[in-house]
A and B are shown apart, each in its own frame.
Chain A
């Protein structure tokens, strides 16, 4: 098979953009106060940040999962602000940033056509446009910093309610130093037809990115949020630690799609959680390709009768990469159902781990859950693990879990080769076929991008 040259990273360019303001390296109470005052935040938010900081110092890093020993919290910039003010129209957005978007390849037509494009460049959203259609429907789609200024009541009501800072060390860290991210509110019975998208990238050396996303879908509404990210190569370790909180109210539906392709020195440690109320439907579609270590387990908490949750997880680990991903479903109410599907591919010494939790509380009668994980290992150097936990405290349930690990089937390869297709091309096709059930759930342009990325990872060339 053609060897993939690891120094080749398609999105490994680095703009020379001078940050207008950044905090000192390292984390102290002073840093947090500085961030808060730079952003002219209300006193209560500073209070939340400081409390979270204390929790961050008191909590320990997880000892399970990936190796976090090389992560040095003192070597990270916690806040970098690239431009002075928010770009309201496309013309106001600085040229370097526009260039970056060109390199990522957001199509021209898409920029105008999309319902709203929130592009996160460094720690802050620099460009944000909301179409008239969304405004007319009463949908709020802004970056979280703006939301704090314009809709303080909304944030006060929901911020940190789904993922409290005490949840884990990294959630506490994010709460203390968060910056940027998206805030979405969809009013009752409003259906947002187009996916809302956010492109963002880390672009200052040694810089952490701590965005905070909050999505509230009111009763009977629908929204699909898409985030995709590419980042340039750095020489020292970077940290990306986001928190995503979603509330799916009665009868609403939220779909959250992520394609993560951080460069291979980034620690990607993300907490994502959804509360789903009665008859609501929450979905996570999570693709992890980049980073040196990803630890991410999107979870659905099924709080109301007949709530549904789905997690589709895709992981690809190449040389020196560890993708520790999975999903969690917790059934609190009767007649709830959940599906977790995971597909992982490891190659060139990469390691993929599925880690999941399925929990049914007493009283969640007639709940159903299916967990399915499949793993492909492409060579003898690579590794794949499966660690699912199931805790069932209710008798009237139907729970199933299945996992399978294998290499590419000899018979499949033989078939391709007998048709004159080279081994390398056949392997790409088999891997693409293996992940297809997840890829087909993506919006078209992401599906194309993902297939392209897989091909690139597999053979080092596209086309």
Chain B
């Protein structure tokens, strides 16, 4: 089990990526507190599960100060018999006026993979914006069909779509990090 504690202070901006490809950690807990006014946190989670991988990824983001902003982006692709468990809590405490908390997870499942997602919100303040969105599914049939009509095999088309699937989250990271992760992804798809 791995615990990651993050504290974001006044006007501080943090981007915390967590990449799980061929990983060994089976449970990761992120606890983040935004304690100073104007604190800004972005959590990025990228996951590729295969075989009998089983991952628990929990994020718990607490907004304690006014005008704090948090974004959690999770993208995961799971093959074979892999299992993904994801609890995402965004808590806006009393007094965190003008806070903005968002949680998004997108999961692609293949084969016998299983996914469980609980994106929760606890809101004690009324001057705020908070939301979450989660999707679970497989690659869009129309996209697959389009690529196949251009002569790609089903496997190739899938691979292309999956690598594109991670792009929006990757673009939030630094250039070097992006290159590193892309290479890692290509090897593992």
Task: Tell me the smallest distance from the CB of A129 to a CB of chain B, in Å.
Answer: 47
Residue A66 CB within 8 A of the other chain: no
- Contacts A385-B122, A388-B120, A393-B114 given; does A400 touch B127 at CB 8 Å: no
| Beta-carbon nearest neighbor of B114 in chain A | A393
B132 near A: Cβ within 8 Å? yes
Whether the pair B116, A406 counts as a contact (CB closer than 8 A) is no
Looking at B11-19, B52-60, B135-143, the stretch in contact with chain A turns out to be B135-143
- Residues facing B in A376-407 (CB within 8 A) are 377-380, 382-407
A390 touches B113 (CB 8 A): no
Q: With contacts A386-B132, A395-B110 known, is A401 near B119, CB below 8 A?
A: yes
A403 touches B122 (CB 8 A): no
Shortest Cβ distance from residue A316 to the other chain B in the assembled complex, whole angstroms: 15
Q: By the criterion CB–CB under 8 Å, are A400 and B123 in contact?
A: no
Enumerate A196-252 residues with CB–CB distance to B below 8 Å.
Answer: none
In whole angstroms, how far apart are the Cα atoms of A389 and B120 in the complex?
A: 9
Tell me if A173 counts as interface (CB < 8 A to partner B): no
Binary contact track A405-433/B, C-beta < 8 Å → 1, others 0: 11100000000000000000000000000
Contact with A along B113-130 (1 / 0, CB 8 A): 111111111111111111
Q: How far is the CA of A386 from the CA of B119 in the complex (A)?
A: 8
Inter-chain CA distance A403–B122, complex, in Å, is 12
Whether A382 lies near B120 (C-beta < 8 A) is: no
Contacts of B122 in A (CB 8 A): 383, 385
Say yes or no: A405 contacts B111, CB within 8 Å.
no
**Residue contact B116 to A399, C-beta cutoff 8 Å:** no
Closest B residue to A383 by beta carbon equals B124
A402's contact among B116, B123, B132, by CB below 8 Å, is which? B132
> Does B112 make an interface contact (CB < 8 A)?
yes
Q: Give the interface SS of chain A, mostly helix, strand, loop or mixed.
A: strand
Q: A103 on the interface (CB 8 Å rule)?
A: no
- Asked if A362 is at the interface (CB within 8 A of a chain B CB), the reply is yes
Please name all residues of chain A whose beta carbon is closer than 8 Å to the beta carbon of B114 when the two chains form the complex.
Answer: 391-393
Chain A residues in 8 Å Cβ range of B119: 386, 388, 401, 403
Write the B74-105 contact mask toward A (1 if CB under 8 angstroms, else 0). 00000000000000000000100000000000
Shortest B144–chain A CB gap in Å is 12
Q: Are B112 and A362 in contact (CB under 8 A)?
A: yes
For residue B184, CB closer than 8 A to chain A, the reply is no
Q: Of B111, B117, B126, B130, which contacts A404 at CB under 8 A?
A: B130
For B129, the chain A residues whose CB sits under 8 A away are 404-406
Nearest residue in A to B92 (C-beta to C-beta)? A405
Instruction: Tell whether, in the assembled complex, residue B120 and residue A395 are in contact, meaning their CB atoms are under 8 Å apart.
Output: no
Shortest C-beta distance, A8 to chain B (Å), equals 24
User: Range of interface residues on chain B?
Assistant: 20 to 34
What residue in chain B is nearest A356 (Cβ atoms)? Answer: B118
**A368 → B minimal CB distance (Å):** 9
Beyond A401-B133, A407-B128, whether A392 also contacts B121 by CB under 8 A is: no
Q: Are A397 and B125 in contact (CB under 8 A)?
A: no
B contact residues around A362 at 8 Å (CB): 112
Indicate whether B23 reaches chain A with its CB closer than 8 angstroms. no
Complex CA–CA separation, A397 to B126 (angstroms): 35
Q: Is B109 an interface residue (CB 8 A)?
A: yes
The interface residues of chain B lying within 8 Å CB-to-CB of A388 are 118-120, 134
Q: Output the nearest chain A residue to B125 by Cβ-Cβ distance.
A: A380
Minimum CB distance partner of B109 in chain A: A395
Contact status A395-B132, CB under 8 Å: no
Q: Across the interface, which residues of A come within 8 angstroms of B117, CB to CB? A: 389-390, 392, 401
In the assembled complex, A76 has its CB within 8 A of some CB on chain B: no
Q: Does A375 contact B (CB under 8 A)?
A: yes
Q: Given the complex of chains A and B, what is the CA–CA distance between A394 and B115 in angstroms?
A: 9
Chain A 155-178 near chain B by CB (<8 Å), digits 1 or 0: 000000000000000000000000
Q: How far is the CA of A404 from the CA of B129 in the complex (A)?
A: 8
Which one of B111, B123, B131 contacts A377 once the chains associate, using CB atoms below 8 Å?
A: B123
Write the chain A residue with the least CB distance to B87.
A389
A380 to B94, CA, bound (A): 8
Taking a contact as CB atoms closer than 8 A, the residue among B111, B126, B130, B138 that contacts A378 in the complex is B126
- B135→A400 contact, CB < 8 A: yes
- Bound-state CA distance A405–B129 (Å) is 6
Within 8 Å CB of A382, what residues of B? 126
Which residue of B110, B128, B134 contacts A401 across the interface (Cβ within 8 Å)?
A: B134
Instruction: Report yes or no: B131 in contact with A402, Cβ–Cβ below 8 A.
Output: yes
Say whether, besides A385-B123, A400-B134, A390 and B116 are in contact (CB < 8 Å). yes
B126–A377 CB distance below 8 A: yes
Please, how many angstroms separate the alpha-carbon atoms of A1 and B108 in the complex?
A: 47
Enumerate 14 A-B pairs (CB-CB under 8 Å) in ascending A order: A362-B112, A377-B125, A383-B124, A386-B132, A387-B118, A390-B117, A390-B136, A392-B117, A398-B135, A398-B137, A400-B135, A403-B119, A403-B121, A405-B128
Question: Which 10 pairs from chain A and chain B are nearest by CB?
Answer: A377-B126, A386-B121, A404-B131, A399-B136, A395-B109, A401-B134, A405-B130, A398-B137, A392-B136, A407-B126
Q: 10 additional contacts, CB 8 Å, given A403-B121, A406-B129?
A: A377-B123, A383-B123, A385-B122, A388-B120, A392-B136, A395-B111, A401-B117, A402-B133, A405-B123, A406-B128
